[in-house]
Amino acid sequence: MNAASGMALPTPPAGRLGALRARWGALGERDRRMIGLAAVVLGAFLLWSVALQPAWRTLREAPAQRDALDAQLQAMQALAAEVKQLRDAPALSAEQAAAALRASSDRLGGKARLTLQGDRAVFTFNGVSNTQLREWLAEVRAGARARPIEAQLSRGAQGFNGSVVLQIGAGR
């Protein structure tokens, strides 16, 4: 104890170790075995949870993740090939693109209306299903070589409503 402050000084590490040894020696044989067994169980649990279990999980999940990434890569490569094909295709005149747009819009019947404004086309639709809209966009991109530059979509009870502005002709 420090005489000036009346506080106990901390025990040096060597003194604490000696106290622990003395206490260990005072324990009975059965108690020492139980503490040793508990230490081994705790050590095995820590080894499992920190080192082995994460590695085991990684090895188990790796094939599924690799397959998913391979599928994603193939889809991206297919899209890249389609983009290259569209870029390499000769440009259509505005008249040819407009004719292709009219043909694709007519397939949707009364659900769609097409308005041509110079090198742009405005496609307005009402109650078009997800599949119809997706197929129409693919057809417009491949057949008319038009690209969407603006879209306003809302989903209603009968399908999608809104408009899509397309760039057509050689101005792509």
Average pLDDT, the chain: 84
Q: What is the mean pLDDT of residues 74-83?
A: 92
- In the numeric block, which tokens belong to residue 129? 């299903």
- Match 């966009």 to its residue by tokens: 137
- In the numeric block, which tokens belong to residue 154? 């809302």
pLDDT per position as a tens digit, 101-145: 888 888 888 888 888 888 888 989 888 888 888 888 888 888 888
pLDDT of 172 > 60? The answer is no
Q: Classify burial at 42, counting beta carbons within 10 Å of its beta carbon; exposed 0-12, middle 13-18, buried 19 or more.
A: exposed
Q: Which of 77-81, 97-101, 138-142 has the highest mean pLDDT?
A: 77-81
CA distance 149 to 136: 15
- Match 């792509």 to its residue by tokens: 172
Can you give the residue range of the structural domain that contains 49?
Answer: 12-88
Question: Last residue of a domain, which of 88, 109, 136?
Answer: 88
Q: What is the CA radius of gyration of the chain?
A: 37
Per the domain annotation, does 4 fall within a domain? no
Q: What CATH number is associated with residue 130?
A: 3.30.1360
Q: Are the C-beta atoms of 121 and 136 separated by less than 8 Å?
A: no
pLDDT bin (cut points 50, 70, 90) of residue 76 is very high
CA distance 107 to 21: 90
pLDDT of 25 > 50? The answer is yes
Which residues neighbour 103 within 8 Å (Cβ) at sequence distance 6 or greater?
143
Which stretch of 61-65, 73-77, 136-140, 168-172 has the lowest confidence by average pLDDT? 168-172
Provide the number of structural domains found in the chain.
2
- In the numeric block, which tokens belong to residue 47? 């080894």
93 or 72: whose pLDDT is higher? 72
- Looking at the structure, do residues 107 and 152 belong to the same domain, yes or no? yes
Which residues neighbour 119 within 8 Å (Cβ) at sequence distance 6 or greater?
94, 167, 168, 169, 171
How many Cβ atoms are within 10 Å of 124's Cβ, its own excluded? 15
Q: What is the mean pLDDT of residues 30-50?
A: 93
Give pLDDT, residue 34. Answer: 92
- Looking at the structure, do residues 122 and 66 belong to the same domain, yes or no? no
Give pLDDT, residue 10. Answer: 62
Give pLDDT, residue 66. Answer: 95
